[in-house]
Amino acid sequence: MSVAAPHPATPGTLYLVPTPLDHGCDTPAALDAALPRHTLETAARLTHWVTENAKSTRAFLKRVDALTPLAQPLQALHLAELPRAAHKQGDHVGHGGSGRNGGNGRGSGSARFDARALLAPALAGHDMGLASEAGMPAVADPGSSIVRAAHDAGVPVAPLVGPVSLLLALAASGLNGQHFAFVGYLPQDAAARAQRIRALEALALKTGQTQLFIETPYRNAALLYALVHTLQPGTRLAVSQGLTLAGGHTRSLRVADWRKLPLETALGRAPAVFALGA
Amino acid sequence: MSVAAPHPATPGTLYLVPTPLDHGCDTPAALDAALPRHTLETAARLTHWVTENAKSTRAFLKRVDALTPLAQPLQALHLAELPRAAHKQGDHVGHGGSGRNGGNGRGSGSARFDARALLAPALAGHDMGLASEAGMPAVADPGSSIVRAAHDAGVPVAPLVGPVSLLLALAASGLNGQHFAFVGYLPQDAAARAQRIRALEALALKTGQTQLFIETPYRNAALLYALVHTLQPGTRLAVSQGLTLAGGHTRSLRVADWRKLPLETALGRAPAVFALGA
């Protein structure tokens, strides 16, 4: 594909490029185990990127290059990082409800950074890539501000197929996949966390809506302990770790059965997805 | 891989096999555009399947065979269909909350069909596949009863990477991807539908939780019209159709801007995913 400046009247497309879920793992998975050929080929030809972390995206593109040669040398690619403001509580303006420090109120609607400026190459006609550190950008990860700005600027948006840990975990949970919610992180404070766990359980049991959430890996064990000792015995709790990777697994049990397990060693330090429901 | 009966003490794995989103489309997509090599290779070696529709799964496996030869001829594979009870309102026992005819109450916990019986090959040591007509089984599709039964029977569950229309649509919407819910179908009755639309909007604006839902394709236009004329002008509404396919697209606009479009022709007859939020 040509990377010469195309006609400025026709914007390029913003491709949402998923990456493997082995970020930070000692043994990376084979890239084509997680990504279809079309995703690899598209990533290989993109010369302009917006990324959560440039170093991670360069490492990803180096792996792509080994399977599908890049259109331009790695050094010649243009990588722009999302501003830090987009990382901390998610970059969805005014809605950090699921983030660590987020509130629940409606935002002002004004952007905290100029997402449109990052789309300048697309407005000049270049196809662009958007990537996060692992998985699908803009899903439980930064990126939605850029996607929204693309729509507002008339830049077509094309999501590519790849691993999405939340959805793999939901499918593998055996819980209701026809009605579900992802609620981000639970509170860190023990009392607030227990209260939130009970509220999520009540919602799940009343409406049938599976509740999905995540935790910072080093708090996995504490969260699991809190869940198992706060939820009702008949509630089902599923935990997935390392899906798509060697040793990846999902355990889905009634809480009464979780209570028979040695919880301290039930989870490793890898990112986990938790799901509860009837 | 051997398909001779392995040691009965070691159950096989239940693989959740996603399929392309071109079911019912005139021009099928290239299979390796939507599925990673690992998914294709795993599908090719599985000899025992549970499926929403055997005819669709045979057609899928014929396409797999053209890229990755099947371990056994198509005619020699064992395909068992999910009972009809698993189709109508989703097979999550007692939770048809998002289905057309579903209630919202908590179920009895008793299965309406014997999911465990369908897992007999896995219990005898065979790896098995679970597939729906399009996309990821057990996510907005039947299959969760089988997955739950697998966990209860000690059969490992391994979800494979492939297209999930809900998550592709969420990523492409520019709406909050850190806090979202999939709520299935909206009511058909106009008054009940408008009431539900207003309730979903109120929830999204209050909590920042993006609300995702789907509709039977021939009702796409009616639902879009109802949304655009019921939601507040400042609310953002995104609609995706045909993602991963030629001509696939996502339109994400404030309702005030949707009102300027000719809605009758805005959507085709392909399955659509709707998302609303701030």
Query: What's residue A184's pLDDT?
Result: 95
Å between B105 CA and nearest CA of chain A = 6
The SS3 of residue B123 is helix
Selected residue of A32, A119, A165, A167 to mutate for chain B interface (largest B Cβ count, 10 A): A167
SS3 A117: helix
pLDDT of residue B24: 72
Residue B244 in contact with partner chain A when CB distance is under 8 A: yes
Domains and CATH numbers, chain A: 14-159 (3.40.1010.10), 165-277 (3.30.950.10)
User: What is the C-alpha to C-alpha distance for residues A22 and A91, in angstroms, rounded to an integer?
Assistant: 23
Q: For residue A8, what pLDDT is reported?
A: 58
Q: What would the pLDDT profile of A64-119 be if each residue is shown by its tens digit?
A: 999 999 999 999 999 999 987 766 444 554 443 333 333 333 333 444 678 889 99
d(CA B82, CA A19) in angstroms, rounded, equals 33
Whether chain A has a CB inside 8 Å of the CB on B100: the answer is no
pLDDT in tens, A167-192: 999 999 999 999 999 999 999 999 99
Q: What's the alpha-carbon Rg for chain A, to the nearest Å?
A: 20
Reference A135, options A16, A1, A259; nearest CA is: A16
pTM comes to 0.90
Confidence of residue A2 (pLDDT cuts 50, 70, 90): very low
Size of interface A-B (CB pairs under 8 A): 259
Of B98, B147, B177, the CB nearest to A138: B177
Render pLDDT for A134-162 as a digit per residue (tens, 0 to 9).
Answer: 899 999 888 999 999 999 999 999 999 99
pLDDT at A273 over 90: yes
- Alpha carbon distances (Å) from B17 to A7, B43, B65: 42, 7, 15
* B 39-78 near A (Cβ less than 8 A): none
Q: Residue A177 is nearest to which of B36, B139, B180, comparing CB atoms?
A: B139
Cα dihedral A201, A204, A207, A212 sign:
positive
